[in-house]
Chain A
Amino acid sequence: MTTASEHSTQVKPVTQHRGRISSPIDIWRRRLLIFIVITYTAVLILAPLVGLISGAFAEGLGGIISAVSDPAVFSAFSLTLYIAFIIIVIHALFGTTLAWVLVRYRFPGRRLLNAFIDLPFAVSPVVVGYMLLLLFGRNGMLAPVLDLFQIKVAFAVPGMILATLFVTLPFMAREVMPVLEAFGIEQEQAAATLGANGWQTFWMVTFPALRWGFIYGVILTFARALGEFGAVLVVGGGIQGRTETATLFIFRALDGRQYVGAYSAALLLGLLSLILVVGTEFLRRREK
């Protein structure tokens, strides 16, 4: 289409318009590029979403309601929420501490450590689950100790919590660090000279400034924890009623060809994380 004429060397009527250069060719190229991008996102991202919604509604709203009111769905979602809540408490506390240490303190190896935090983004969830089995499994390295104290970690909830902690580790630090860096230390110094102690300075000066980074970190961690699958499958085993989370329920339902059940639960889980992330983004924008 327009690309053929791009190669002509003739002088084009170039008009400077609000600092933007536009000729007829540019206008067509612009339309073409916008068209390509919209088509790409529509086919890649929106179409599957629509597909899932129509798949869940295949037997009407009644089908979804009866599928979702299955007690297995309830217990799976409860376990998922339970794990996700524990995750955010631990990461909110230690993730913020880690961000603080990386931004405010200088020590050898800080740069390497900073890069290291991103590792869970790249490590396969299956490998994460497997690592924990090597540690806590029946023949695992820590098996004697666990047997001694009668603690069960693998194929139980504690192992699933550890796996999810690993996978969600980067979010908190990555959201809090840039805010902490931008905030600087002047106001803290002012508070200190006015006689505030460490805790007072943190809670009354630093934390309010970090608020949005902190909240966004917590929400992203929570959303990611809701959706974790591979790691909890390997370490938890997906035992129905005991270690079956929402994602594991979906997996089992698909395996058993209960399509409406699987699609409805997938839709519910997808909506839950979507509302969380979009809602927070909306709140943050309104704040600005």
Chain B
Amino acid sequence: MTTTTPSLAIKDTPHRAPWGRWGIKSAAFTYLIVLLLIPLSVIFQDGLKDGLVNLWGSISLPIAWAALRLTLWTSALMAVINAVMGTLTAYVLVRYSFPGKSFLNAIVDLPLAIPTLVTGVMLVVLYGPQSIIGGWFKDQLGWQIIFAPPGIILALLFVNFPFVVRAVQPVLESLDRESEEAAATLGAGSARIFWQVTLPALWSSIASGALLSFARAIGEFGAIVIVAGNIPFRSQTAAIYVFGEVESSNRQGASAMSIVMLSLAFVLVLFVDWLRKRGRKERTA
């Protein structure tokens, strides 16, 4: 970097000698390369060394395919419910004041503080076949929650609850109320104002929160392994499948599924990042 003007000279102050700058930079890069990049590339190297045909062969095994399908549909359903309820929660928290509001606001972060394994344990205690509620659902309605997809979805909803709320809340707070008030003076009802004025401004934040929770749900293990109980074709998700393959030393199956999950994670994380940047641009424009 060339420093010509005096003001820039201060920015590149003598107190940060070039070697110090390079030292800091290389420390940060080494940290990322050792912790993230090397492990990630090893898995791609291992899974792809036998070629894409073998990779496809491992994924298209009925048991692997069923696990992947179960993971994707439960995660997608969770993301949709989470998007609706998260937006609603954010709306209520920002726009209304009521007793217990700050308590509710604190509860939103609770799932972040609780280990996911503990979440799984909690759900089994509450909805498991031996519990009162779980027993009632099973006897009266014939619904099984634990060791079945509903339990998986509940666990995913619990673990991912904060993400949509915390994505939408700040945007809603900073939202200009003028256009809503203008719509109201023009005679629009508040339902119409919400659908036509407020919601369009929130889309990108809702989508980024929901997609982030979707991405996390695909890899979720701790909460699900307890709740789902690892029954192939019925409640075995992709993460549990990988765990089983690792335990039984089936390297090919584990690597193939891991690559699929990692690729999804890559794409989703980049997309969420793009959505966030777009949202920020929209707001400042």
Contacts and interface: CB of A to CB of B under 8 A. Distances in A.
B31 to A, nearest CB: 4
Interface string A216-255: 0000100100111110011000000000000100110010
Contact of B121 (A98, A121, A254): A254
A151 interface: no
A119 B265 contact: yes
Interface string B30-60: 0110011011101100100000000000000
B189 A12 contact: yes
B246 interface: yes
Nearest to A49: B122
Nearest to B272: A118
B85 A40 contact: yes
B262 A127 contact: yes
Given A100-B24, A223-B113, A126 B246 contact: yes
Interface of A is mostly: helix
Interface in A103-131: 105, 107, 113-131
A192 interface: yes
B43 A229 contact: no
A37 interface: yes
Contact of A21 (B28, B184, B219): B184
A197 B96 contact: no
A11 B187 CA distance: 8
Interface residues of A, number: 95
A266 B122 contact: yes
A98 B36 CA distance: 13
Given A14-B184, A124-B220, A262-B121, A193 B114 contact: no
B157 A97 contact: no
B160 to A, nearest CB: 11
Contacts of B215: 121-122
Interface of B: 10-11, 13-17, 20-21, 24-25, 27-29, 31-32, 35-36, 38-40, 42-43, 46, 85, 88-89, 91-92, 96, 98, 100, 104, 106-119, 121-126, 131, 154, 157-158, 161, 177, 181, 184, 187, 189-191, 212, 215-216, 218-222, 225-226, 238-240, 242-243, 246, 254-255, 258, 261-262, 265-266, 268-270, 272-273
Contact of B39 (A47, A135, A234): A135
A8 to B, nearest CB: 9
A142 to B, nearest CB: 9
A208 interface: no
Nearest to A140: B42
Given A44-B161, A45-B107, A130-B246, 7 more contacts: A6-B191, A41-B104, A46-B107, A48-B123, A124-B242, A134-B43, A234-B246
A29 B42 CA distance: 54
A47 B112 CA distance: 17
Contacts of A125: 219, 221-222, 239
Nearest to B274: A115
A233 B226 CA distance: 14
Nearest to B237: A124
A33 interface: yes
Given A45-B111, A227-B116, A141 B24 contact: no
B126 A47 contact: yes
Given A119-B266, A127-B262, A230-B222, A48 B242 contact: no
Given A119-B36, A198-B20, A230 B243 contact: yes
A107 B26 CA distance: 12
Nearest to A20: B95
Contacts of B15: 192, 196-198, 201
A269 B115 contact: yes
- Chain B binding surface, main DSSP class: helix
A199 to B, nearest CB: 8
Interface string A138-179: 000100000000000000000000100110010000000000
29 contacts: A12-B189, A34-B92, A38-B100, A45-B107, A46-B107, A48-B122, A48-B158, A101-B25, A115-B273, A119-B36, A119-B269, A122-B215, A122-B216, A122-B218, A122-B268, A123-B265, A124-B242, A130-B255, A130-B258, A192-B14, A229-B117, A229-B222, A233-B243, A247-B117, A254-B124, A270-B115, A274-B110, A274-B114, A281-B109
Contacts of B27: 94, 97
A125 B222 CA distance: 9
A138 B172 CA distance: 52
Contact of A55 (B24, B125, B255): B125
A281 B105 CA distance: 12
B83 to A, nearest CB: 13
A125 B16 CA distance: 39
B42 A131 contact: yes
Interface in A250-288: 250-251, 254, 262-263, 266, 269-270, 273-274, 276-278, 281
A265 to B, nearest CB: 9
A132 to B, nearest CB: 6
Contacts of B28: 94, 97-98, 100-102
Instruction: Give 9 closest A-B pairs by Cβ, nearest first.
Output: A227-B115, A124-B219, A51-B126, A48-B122, A230-B221, A115-B273, A122-B265, A131-B39, A277-B113
A192 B10 contact: yes
Given A55-B125, A141-B42, A37 B109 contact: no
